[in-house]
Amino acid sequence: MNRRRRILGAALTAALCAVAFVWAAPFMWMFVASIRPEGFGGLRMASIWPDFTPTLDNFALAWESADFLLYYFNTVLLVGGILIVQMVTIMLAGYAFARLDFPFKDAIFYAFLMQLMLVPPILIVPNLSTLVTIGLNDNLIGVMAPYFASAFGVFLMRQSFKSLPKDYEDAAIIDGCAWYQLIWHVLLPLSRPALVAFGIVSVVFHWNEFLWPLMVISSPEKQVLTVGLASFTLGAEGASEWGLIAAGTVLVALPLLVTFVAFQRQFVNSFVSSGIK
């Protein structure tokens, strides 16, 4: 029995390592290709093993070929603006659905959750039409606006608030706390894991989003990283400069990867504490 258990454990470990390698292979190729010298092609270019002297020339050329600094600024502005407004809206809506009593509360909440069933691309045409009507097309505010309310965030905060004992709130009310002081000083500190988990999901999603910014933004000076990388890649593909393309991709993905590596323990603890699977 022990031998069979060891064999099954070894087989499971080998299978997990194989799956991890398949998942990580594109990232490995991206990093290796980004530091390859010019002149590599054919099968050698497809290899993920660094059989050469590394160079940073591809990164220097990619940085000079596209205005990545502007793209970073626009992306941080976009992601940060969405996150700040979302934190306010999900906090207030989550508190209302968790603690307040009003007519048809459950029906409104479930209707609100129906947003989770909608695939974002199917809303592009009506959202874009609305932005054109109100004059927010070709504007970063227009890219942000549809995401100011988040059904997932409201659900997460509602569940987090409902899981907290009401004794804390009763004690705060007895001490004279207003409702906004109750949220800020009592509920939010206790719901920090849920807020951090939602913040991670929001930042990663909007940092990587491509289609919606592409549809809204037409001015080059307002492009975000994903759209700017696509424009940069189109020019590099014509000359088959795969090392240059890989370097540009690394520049886009690197901030998220570095942040995750630096704070992975906090990230995992936040998801575990908030109950997100």
The predicted-structure confidence for 217-257, as pLDDT tens digits, reads as follows: 988 889 999 998 888 877 665 556 778 888 888 888 888 88
Return the structure tokens found at 161. Answer: 């608030």
pLDDT in tens, 106-122: 888 988 888 888 877 88
Per-residue pLDDT tens digits for 66-85: 888 999 999 999 999 999 99
Spelled out in words, what is the top-level CATH class assigned to the domain 62-274?
mainly alpha
| Annotated domain spans of the chain | 2-55, 62-274
Q: What is the mean pLDDT of residues 150-163?
A: 89
Q: Quick check: pTM over 0.95? A: no
Tell the residue number behind the tokens 């987090």, with chain if given: 160
pLDDT score, position 273: 59
- The region of weakest confidence among 129-138, 155-164, 168-177 is 168-177
Cβ pair 274, 193 in contact under 8 A: yes
Burial letters 16-50, b for 16+ CB under 10 A, else e: eeeeeeeeeeeeebbbbbbbbeeebeeeebeeeee
pLDDT value of residue 46: 62
Question: What confidence tens digit (pLDDT) does each residue in 21-41 have?
Answer: 888 888 888 888 888 876 655
Which position has the token pair 């696509």? Answer: 230
Q: CA 90 to CA 220: how far, in whole Å?
A: 32
Q: Is residue 67 classed exposed, middle or buried when 0-12, 13-18 and 19+ CB atoms within 10 A define those classes?
A: middle
Spatial separation of the C-alpha atoms in residues 116 and 155, rounded to whole Å: 10
252-274 per-position pLDDT tens digit: 888 888 887 777 776 676 666 55
CB 38 within 8 A of CB 243: yes
